[in-house]
Amino acid sequence: MYPDRDFNLQRPLPWYAGALTQDVALDTLLHAMALEDPFLLDVGRKALFQGLAENRDTILYRQRVLQDCLKNPAVAREIYDIAVEAMERERKDDFSMRMPAGMLRRLRTIADTQAERFESEGVSVFFAMLRDELSDPYFAVIQDHLEELAFRDGVLLSAGPPADSFTIPDGDESGARALSELKDRGLNVAAHALARSADHIVSVFNLLRTELAFYPGCLNLHGQLARIGAPVCFPSPEEPDRRGHSFRGLYDACLALTMGKAVVGNDADADRRDLVVITGANQGGKSTFLRSVGLAQLMMQCGLFVPAESFRSGLCDGVFTHYRREEDETMKSGKLDEERGRMSEIVDHLTTRPMVLFSESFAATNEREGSEIARQIVFALMEKRIPVFYVTHLFEFARDAYERNMEQTLFLRAERQADGGRTFRIVEGRPLHTSFGEDLYRGVFGTDA
């Protein structure tokens, strides 16, 4: 996972992990990666969130390893399966020393026979390590020790001072018991050394499983998207000071996985843009588009491919979401107060290079008040050069942003056909005064109504 350190599976998730998981439907993606394997699920979740702290070099390092795995999926899975088998044997208390020696030899064989098929730095260094550490003399020493530990010629124990020999008469149970205790004491040193060796090998396999688990999860996800004809690409991560996004054919992978088919993708060029405002027809794909942006950012930064034909973005160190929530009967105050409270919490926890996604925020009040709240918050974020994507029906807010004619703002709109049909495409366009709610009304009650 890293060229210079181990992956930390114990690192806690960020405080906003629950909200972000809910808002971009992240569990759908994670379950597609895990395929009901709880360990893959845990590693996938930690990798996606820890990716927000990675630098560009680490992202590209993982991309190259993953590209190797996609070219050689059977080999990648075999290496991971060896580590899993070792941990399963240890869990079942079936971890004799001959078993891990055989597994180590299987790893060495893979390194000898498959190294030429891999090009990435990560896999090449791993195979080189296996060949150096698991050399033929190493296996010869292991075999000698295992033969000695079989005690086929009995046990030879020696004492410091010379002593005459003695023989225990037949039927002398006390003497036999004393001799057995002496034998156990003598073997204790060897048993302790053997136990330490076994513990060391178990820790090696456990580390190997942790370091590798991300990639079988990626292979699982890739296979499911490929089966439904949904394209993916390896994105181009930009340095943090490079603002904006640029993509072609970006789609919501979780929606595609849920529907079991490819879904509509969208294009946008938001380079050097700090604010992207998305307006337009009800049920036209705006919220889906917003999810696709947040999801692609997470996937890119952890080293994954992204659901698009091409994708380029600057790096951020936090993805914060402020989405409209359903009415909660346990709330002690109104929805607007609840929205403002969540926004305050986000502001209190903003990181150095965050990205903020808004979906229908502050619509719990009237148009004028909601627009004013949105205006003050968004423009304050823009002053700090914080990227913002905002899906809204607040026309006064959208119109005000449009009339300011700011170069760092991009306006997108859900496309609507002349007959009221939805293409679910998001295109460039100024905000309109209507969201075409009458289309939905006619869809329910008929054109005569």
The pLDDT assigned to 21 comes to: 97
The total of other beta-carbon atoms located within 10 Å of residue 419's CB is 6
Q: How far apart are CA 390 and CA 320, in angstroms?
A: 12
Query: Which secondary-structure segment (H or E) carries 425?
Result: strand 422-428
Q: How far apart are CA 387 and CA 354, in angstroms?
A: 7
Look up residue 392 and give its amino acid. T
The pLDDT assigned to 143 comes to: 59
Q: How far apart are CA 110 and CA 123, in angstroms?
A: 12
**Cβ atoms of residues 37 and 266 within 8 Å:** no
pTM of the entire predicted model:
0.86
User: What φ, ψ does residue 146 adopt, rounded to 5°?
Assistant: -65, -35
The pLDDT assigned to 101 comes to: 76
Residue 284: both structure tokens together: 């036209």
DSSP string, 134-165: T-HHHHHHHHHHHHHHT-TT------SS----
Domain regions of the chain by residue span = 54-157+169-218, 228-325+333-445
Look up residue 1 and give its amino acid. M
Buried b (16+ CB within 10 A) or exposed e, 227-240: eeebbbbbbebbee
385: left (phi over 0), alpha (psi -120 to 50) or beta: left
Look at strands 409-416 and 422-428 and give their pairing: antiparallel
Tell me the H-state helices in 53-154.
56-71, 73-91, 98-114, 121-133, 136-149
The pLDDT assigned to 364 comes to: 86
Q: 150 to each of 3, 76, 147, 202, how far by Cα in Å?
A: 40, 35, 5, 21
- The pLDDT tens digits along the chain (449 residues) read 999 999 999 999 999 999 999 999 999 999 999 999 999 999 999 999 999 999 999 999 999 999 999 999 999 999 999 999 988 877 666 555 566 778 888 999 999 999 999 999 999 999 999 999 888 887 677 656 555 555 555 555 565 565 566 566 676 666 556 556 555 555 455 555 545 656 667 788 889 999 999 999 999 999 999 999 999 999 999 987 777 899 999 999 999 999 999 999 999 999 989 999 999 988 899 999 999 999 999 999 999 999 999 999 999 999 999 998 876 666 566 889 999 999 999 999 999 999 999 999 998 889 999 999 999 999 999 999 999 999 999 999 999 999 998 899 999 999 988 888 889 999 999 998 765 556 555 666 666 65
The pLDDT assigned to 356 comes to: 97
**Cβ atoms of residues 382 and 275 within 8 Å:** yes
Half-sphere exposure of 90 (CA within 13 A, CB side): 19
Tell me the H-state helices in 260-410.
286-301, 335-349, 367-383, 395-403
Give the architecture-level CATH label for domain 228-325+333-445: 3-Layer(aba) Sandwich (3.40)
Strands across the sheet containing 236-238: 236-238, 310-314, 245-250, 266-269
Residue 89's Cα: distance from chain center in Å? 27
